[in-house]
Amino acid sequence: KQDRMAKAYNLCKMIKKFQMVSAGEIPVDDKDHYSNKRLKMSGDLLTDLFRVNFNMLIKDMLYNFQRIVKRGKFPSLRVVIRDKLLTQRIYSSMATGSWVGGRKGISQRIQRLNFLETMSHLQRVVSPLSATQENFAARELHPTHLGRLCPIETPEGTNIGLKKNLSLMASVSQSVPDQDIIKVVRSMGLKEAK
C-alpha cells in the first residue's frame, strides 16, 4: 500500500510540473543537463543480467519439476536444476556483448596498448542514442559536462559526441549510505510527503 502511495505522489508531482510548464510558470527542463541523466555502471548492468537469467533459471526449474512430477516420478535436485543454464547465459553475454533488453556492445575486449588507452577504455560513457539519429544537442558539449566528461576525447564519424569519456580525475561514487543523504536533505528544510 505504501508503494502505491509513493507512486501516486510521484504521479501528482509530474502532473503538477506539466501544468506549470504548460502555463509558462516554469521553463522546460533541459534534457541535456547532467543532473537529468543517470550513468549505468558495470555493477548495475551485471545486476540486470543476473536478475533476468536467475528468473529464467527459476522458471526452468518449475517447468522441469512439474513435467517430471506429472509422470509420477519424484526427481532429484540434479534433474530439476540445470545449473549450467545460468552460467552459460552469463558467459555468452560477456563473450558476445549482447545484453538483456537488446543492448549490444556492453562488454568489450579491453585495449591494453598503453596505460592511458586502458584508462580511457575503462572510463567510456556510451549514449543509448543511435548513431543514425541527427540529435545535435545530445552530441554537443553541455556546460554541466565540465569536470565530469572529457571535452576532447570522442570518436570521429557517426558516433561523434555519443561516445564520451569521464574526465581523468572524475569518479562515480555509490557508497554513500541512504541515511546520510536523508539527514543532509532534512537539515536543508525538506519535509516528508504524507
Q: How does pLDDT run across 77-126, given as a tens digit for each residue? A: 777 888 888 899 999 999 998 888 888 888 888 888 998 888 888 888 88
Task: Give me the mean pLDDT over the 33-41 stretch.
Answer: 83
**Alpha-carbon distance 39 to 126, whole Å?**
9
Q: In 10 A of CB 53, how many CB atoms? A: 19
Strand partners, 163: 126
94: nearest Cα among 143, 58, 49: 49
Domain boundaries, the chain: 1-30, 32-108, 113-169
Provide the pLDDT for residue 2.
Answer: 73
46: nearest Cα among 107, 135, 1, 134: 107
With a CB cutoff of 8 Å and minimum separation 6, the contacts of 165 are 120, 123, 124, 125, 149, 150, 153, 154
SS3 assignment, position 124: strand
pLDDT at 17 over 90: yes
Q: What letter does residue 144 receive in the DSSP assignment? A: G
**Alpha-carbon distance 62 to 64, whole Å?**
6
CB 178 within 8 A of CB 194: no
Provide the pLDDT for residue 122.
Answer: 85
pLDDT at 18 over 90: yes
Provide the pLDDT for residue 194.
Answer: 63
